[in-house]
A and B are shown apart, each in its own frame.
Chain A
Amino acid sequence: MKKRILGLLLSISVLASLAIGCAPAAAGSDASAGGSSSGASDGDITLTWAVFETDNYTAEMWQKIIDAFEADNPGIKIEKVLMTGDSRPQFLKTMLAAGNMPDINVDPVDLATTDGIYAEVPEELLEKYEDAAIATYNGKHTLVPAYKALRNQCYYHKDQFKEAGITEEPKTWEEFLDVCEKLMDAGKVPLMSAGASDIWATSFGWWTGVTNSEIMAKYPNFNEQILKGELSWTDPVIADSLKAWQGLVDAGYYHKGSMSFSYTQAQSEFLDGATAMFMDGAWAAPSFDAAGITPDELGCFVVPTPSGAYSYCTMPQYWGVSETCAHKDEAFKFCEYVLGGNEDIYRLYLSSDGTYSVTKNPVLYDMGPIQTEFVSNYDDCPLVTEIMKAVGDISMPSGFEDYTCKSLQNVFTGSDVDEELKKWDEEFNKMLEAK
């Protein structure tokens, strides 16, 4: 009988521990695994802030921001939630599903397409930002503009150009092909790309630097038209641009090992001189400057397009305050403080990744020589929408950009361009239906 009672008690204790384990986290619990705002016992408000770390966005940089805000705003504590993994939207979706959505999110664009995830931004806060930076979803403004990022140019080793007898940066498509040919003749590998698990890195340079310009030159309202079904991804403008890219691969201009390099490896190989050119992101320029690389060693130019289209695009970035946040006023106060309210902090945030302010009163910072050259290359270049990164009602369906990056890898490895683009239409319609 005693044993039976003991067994019963043990079973109850297991049940109880399960119930405790499955219960929602109590307010004020450790935010390192996510969690929402809480009122701590000492009266302070604690807000959780989802961020990510890279070589440019370091833990030290985030901590400087937190320390500055807490010093200027006693009573509000910020707890950092590190978004791990290779997909920030996936991380946030998982947190949302688990009921642990952080109060303030960096990179919330993907989730913002769904109504009710983010709180509406107060109008007086939005008034501080450029009109072009305001994103609208079904008439609602749920995102705080954070910055705009230039996309990419072609970086090149000046000594390799010199050795190949190239005296000027290419301005036309024919000149670009001529540069590639001269480099090949001089025994050099013209271009680097990346692959392995960094699917985005294979086509990033070509798509944002060339194809985007060519599409926008012919269809300035491409996103609106493709979303309405007035255009197809099989449009000859897109197909011809991708065939031109495939032509560069077929001609042997790309490094043979490109597809086995991660992005970091590819950049490192390029810097070591494995190739003469690399269509890399704007974020690379400040890191090259910080590494002490000089404009005598490395230059950059806007990649010419086969059709002669000439434009550049920027990627807008935002912050969002979760609808589940218990202290929205304080959360928006934090957004305002970092994103322009404290210019030194905003400057630190922008300069870390080489991005640009979106406040009506521009916040500027001293740029290194390579970044300065990068920016000045766009002096006479018109700005257009980046198709895949457009936000608000003209945004692409969730997952479509990832799909196209994979398909563009197929193009890079020899798949038929027209066949691939037909699949884009099918996938686009499927995802649009889910959106």
Chain B
Amino acid sequence: MQRKKSPLFVAPALIIYTFLMIIPIIGAFALSFTNWNGISRDYQFSGIKNYTAMFSDERFLNAVFVTLRIMLTVCVSVNVIGLFTAVLLNKARRFTNALRSVFFLPYVISTVAISFIWLSILSYTGILNSVLTSVGLEAIVNDYIGNTKGALRSICLIEIWRIMGFHMVLYLASIQTVPEELYEACIVDGGSGWDSFRYVTLPMIVPGATVSVIMSVMTEMKQYDIVKVITNGGPGYSTETISYNIVTQAFGNNMLGYSSALAVFLFVFIAVISILQLKLSARWEV
């Protein structure tokens, strides 16, 4: 039977994608060369001024540093813990589906709702400190979100808790595609449990791991909502991320041209990291 091909089949998706993604991206790129304040009808072409200004903007550079710290901490944690729990869950047999749902649950709850729940836990008079006090551990009672280090750690912790289940499901799906014969061959060759993980599971799940890592990188590079609800970028601007900075510059400071330049920077930054990641993982694929 001859399969029919027609470009019309991609038309709906292409049209939606063009309207909602391509055109706004081109628009933002064009605006990044202007001094538009987002309100008035008048604006001037400002060349590459916005791009040069961002590298001397201490607040933005701090946001880049904070975003990278969150991204590295969360990506490493969710991928390591996600893989570990996926391996364990794969052995859980009849409990696999039930436990998968439990771990996945935080991912489907509204991020804002999650943030408010964690606020009530981490506040100075919140649940965590109350529990510590009630068991006689007043000495380690802390102001978790009231200082720079604590606030950043708290944001990472909440984000790891929130998305770990999603990455675990990605790894679990990859692990379940590994042919059983390969494990049997490993055992026949005298391989241990670690050997079957190291030489069978890991190489076979590289494509799934690539997707998981790239998705976690992209999610964390765009981190906004948890920061907004938990600390609003504070104390001071110590937990401001790139996305938070972009929104503040655009709608708080009326510098939409400048914020567009920051958005283009973020776009390029994520693209470069994703391409590098793809190239690296391609080497490890079996």
Which A residues have a C-beta under 8 Å from some C-beta of B?
3-4, 7-8, 10-11, 14-15, 18, 22, 86-87, 89-90, 93-94, 96-97, 111, 114-117, 195-199, 202, 255-262, 265, 269, 274, 397-399, 402-403, 406-407, 409-410, 412-413, 415, 423, 427, 431, 434-435
Contact = CB atoms under 8 A, between A and B. Distances in A.
B39 A269 contact: no
Contacts of A415: 236
B248 interface: yes
Taking residues whose C-beta sits less than 8 angstroms from the other chain, chain B's interface range is: 35 or more
Contacts of A10: 12
A116 B144 CA distance: 46
B143 A257 contact: yes
Contact of A409 (B4, B59, B228, B234): B234
Nearest to B10: A11
Identify the 5 closest CB pairs spanning chains A and B, nearest first: A257-B124, A259-B146, A399-B253, A410-B236, A197-B232
A260 B144 contact: yes
Contact of B229 (A18, A197, A259, A431): A197
Given A96-B39, A197-B228, A399-B253, 7 more contacts: A11-B12, A86-B232, A259-B146, A274-B125, A398-B252, A412-B235, A434-B253
A89 B231 CA distance: 20
A236 to B, nearest CB: 23
A435 B35 CA distance: 10
Interface of B: 4, 6, 8-9, 11-12, 15-16, 19, 35, 37-41, 58-59, 119, 122-126, 143-148, 228-238, 248, 251-255, 258
8 contacts: A3-B4, A14-B15, A15-B15, A195-B234, A196-B123, A256-B124, A415-B236, A427-B59
Contacts of B146: 195-196, 257-260, 413
A260 B145 contact: yes
Nearest to B251: A90
A18 B23 CA distance: 14
Contacts of A255: 124
Contact of B39 (A117, A257, A427): A117
Chain A residues touching B, majority SS: helix
B11 A14 contact: yes
A90 B252 contact: yes
Nearest to A22: B19
B39 A260 contact: no
A196 B145 contact: yes
A398 B126 CA distance: 35
Nearest to A8: B8
Contacts of A97: 38
Contact of B41 (A7, A116, A258): A116
A434 B12 contact: no
A269 B8 CA distance: 63
Chain B residues touching A, majority SS: loop
A434 B40 CA distance: 11
B252 A196 contact: no
Contacts of A86: 232
Contacts of B122: 260
Contact of A410 (B35, B231, B235): B235
Contact of A257 (B4, B6, B125): B125
B38 A18 contact: no
B231 A197 contact: yes
Nearest to A407: B236
Contacts of B37: 114, 434-435
Given A14-B11, A434-B35, A406 B19 contact: no
A196 B230 contact: yes
Contacts of B12: 10-11, 14
Contacts of B238: 410
Contacts of B125: 257, 261, 265, 269, 274
Nearest to B39: A114
Q: Which of B11, B235, B237 has most chain A Cβ within 10 Å?
A: B235
Given A197-B229, A197-B231, A402 B252 contact: yes
A8 B11 CA distance: 10
A7 B9 contact: yes
B254 A398 contact: yes
A199 B229 CA distance: 11
